[in-house]
Each structure stands twice: as structure tokens, then as C-alpha cells.
A and B are shown apart, each in its own frame.
Chain A
Amino acid sequence: MEHIGLTHYLIVSAVLFCCGIFTTATKRNAIGILIGVELMLNSTGINLVAFDRYMGPGRLDGQIVALFMIVLAAAETALAVGICINVYKNLSTVDVDSASQLRG
């Protein structure tokens, strides 16, 4: 039976990252863009934990950085959703192309 190694996890993480980039680039809804960012953050989390497991087991460095990543992602989502709600209050839509008041 084939052995599951580091490369397998990194490929899964690459798939998630590319899907995140695609989502961030194509969605017009601000919340949709946030969802794409969440996907990219999760792919970095898989990378960190996989490197921790296969390159330095027992040292916990990668897992702790992944824990901070989760904390930062939660903070970022809270603020970004607050900003989206304010944009919706002012413009009655969350289409990112319509928020162009600062365009020169």
C-alpha cells in the first residue's frame, strides 16, 4: 500500500489555495470574497501542520503558528463583516464594484 507523505497534504493545500484565489478574483459579493480568503488561510494551515508533522515532530512550532492563524482569521472576519454591513447601510448593496466613491 502506498504511503501517505508530506507531498499528498501539500497537493491538497495547493488545490484549496487555487480555489481561494479563483473565488476571490471572480466573486462580486464582498462576503464571497471573504469566503475565498478563508479558503486560502485554511490551505496555509494545512501546510503548517503538515510540515510540523513530517519535518519536526514533537516540537509543536507549526501547530502553534496555525493556532495564531485561526485567531487572526477570526479577528479579520469579524472586522470585515462589520465593514460589509456598513457598506450595505450606505450603498444598499455589497457589490464591490459599486463602492467606487473614492475613485479618482
Chain B
Amino acid sequence: MFRSRFHIIALASLGVVAFSAQALAGEVAGYSDVTHAAASGSWLEVGLFYIVAAAACISALGVCYSKNIVRMSVWLFGALGSVSLLYFMLAANFLAAIQLIVYAGGTLILLVFGVMLTSKSPWARFEPRKIEILGATVVSGTLFVCLSLLLTRADWATTDAVVAGTSMSDFGHSLLTTYLVPFELAGVLLMIVMVGAAHLARQDK
């Protein structure tokens, strides 16, 4: 009884977050061409970037520090939504929509189903040992310090050319010409995965 109520609350909160993120994404999609065509470097672009980047970083840290698997899923949803907003700001409109639909709509729901099917209680915890936390902190902290030193000192040959949002016809054209082989391979892979997942999750052996 309690278990099913917790599940319903978790699913309902996920739905609310999904709806608000998609509404927000629609707003940003409408404006992203404007920010890139007219006002690159304007306060709107800079402010929006810092807000979205902060949301992404806070959600990722939330995934790290929450002990509870349901909370981790909700933080992951925040991270995926923020990454999709970053795609919008990088003028990759089609990819941002795909990120929302496939990742936030499909992959995350799959993960939540996995959580519900594999725990006796959704609030079950597995505590890591202290030494594991210490080791992971040292490794990821060192990597982050090295990466940020490297990235801030590197001199990239970037262009500041103004770009318009990607059009879907360009995307489809290059998928069916330059990238035809990987495209077909991805189709075969998806079919294999579908059959394999159905076989793995089969009830009677």
C-alpha cells in the first residue's frame, strides 16, 4: 500500500518536472535563433548560460550526493533537461528536442522502471565504504582540477561566426548521405537490442 503510494508520488513529480522543462525549452527554442543571430554576447545569452550551467552542475552534484535511488533519478532528470537547454543555446535545436524526447522521455523512464522492479522498498539504501568515497573524491577531484587547468590554458582555433539554428532537412540530408553506414548500423543495433532486451526480461525460462 505504502509502496505503491510512493511510486505514484515519484511518477507524478517526474511528470510535473517533465512538463515544466518542456514548456521552458519551447520558450528558449523560440528565442535561440534571436540570441545567436542578433545578440551574441548580450546579457540575455550570458545570463541564460550561467543559469543553465549552474542548474546542470547542481543537478550533477545532487546525483553524486543523494543516497536514495529515486532522488538520484530526479536529479538526473534535472541534469538531462539542463543539457538539452545547453544544446538549444549552442543552436542545436533538433538535437535538443531529441535529447528531451529520447533521454528524458525514454531512457529516464526506463531507469525509473528499473528502480521500481529491483528494490524491495524504493527507499532502500546501499552505503558505500568510507575508503571508496575517499578514493572516488581523490580521483574525480584530481581529474577535474587537471581538466579545468588544461581547458582554461588551451588556445582553441574557434570561430565566432554567427550560426543559425540547425535545420532538420540538413540533418536528414547528411544522415542519408555522409553518415548512411552508421545510420543503418544504428538501426540494426536497435533491432538487436530490442530482441535482446525482450529475451533477457522474459518471464519463463
Q: State the A residues within 8 Å of B (CB).
A: 1-12, 14-23, 25-32, 34-36, 38-39, 42, 45-46, 49-50, 52-55, 57-58, 60, 63-64, 66-68, 70-75, 77-79, 81-88, 94-95
Please report the C-alpha to C-alpha distance between residue A77 and residue B80 in the assembled complex, in whole angstroms: 15
Please report the C-alpha to C-alpha distance between residue A24 and residue B59 in the assembled complex, in whole angstroms: 16
B107 lies within 8 A of A29 (CB): no
Please name the residue on chain B nearest to A96 by beta carbon: B126
A-B contacts, 26 of them at CB < 8 A, read A1-B43, A3-B40, A3-B41, A3-B46, A14-B144, A17-B143, A18-B143, A25-B132, A29-B69, A29-B126, A31-B114, A31-B118, A32-B126, A38-B103, A39-B60, A49-B86, A53-B90, A53-B91, A54-B156, A58-B163, A63-B92, A64-B174, A67-B95, A68-B186, A81-B110, A81-B114
**Does residue B147 face the partner (Cβ distance < 8 Å to A)?**
yes
Q: Which residues of B contact A14 (CB under 8 A)?
A: 144, 147-148, 151
| A-B pairs, 10 with minimum CB distance | A28-B126, A82-B200, A25-B136, A19-B60, A81-B114, A18-B140, A18-B144, A75-B193, A54-B158, A88-B118
Number of B residues whose C-beta is below 8 Å from A?
A: 83
Q: In the complex where A16-B60, A29-B69, A49-B95 touch, is A8 in contact with B83 (Cβ < 8 A)? A: no
B189 lies within 8 A of A75 (CB): yes
Q: State the B residues within 8 Å of A (CB).
A: 40-43, 45-46, 49, 53, 56-57, 60-61, 63-64, 69, 72-73, 76, 79-80, 83, 86-87, 90-92, 94-95, 98-99, 102-103, 106-107, 110-111, 113-115, 117-119, 126-128, 132-133, 135-137, 139-141, 143-144, 147-148, 151-152, 154, 156-161, 163, 166, 170-171, 174-175, 179, 182, 186, 189-190, 193-194, 196-197, 200-201
B200 lies within 8 A of A21 (CB): no
Please name the residue on chain A nearest to B132 by beta carbon: A26
Please report the C-alpha to C-alpha distance between residue A54 and residue B154 in the assembled complex, in whole angstroms: 14
Please report the C-alpha to C-alpha distance between residue A83 and residue B148 in the assembled complex, in whole angstroms: 36
Please report the C-alpha to C-alpha distance between residue A26 and residue B163 in the assembled complex, in whole angstroms: 41
B111 lies within 8 A of A31 (CB): yes
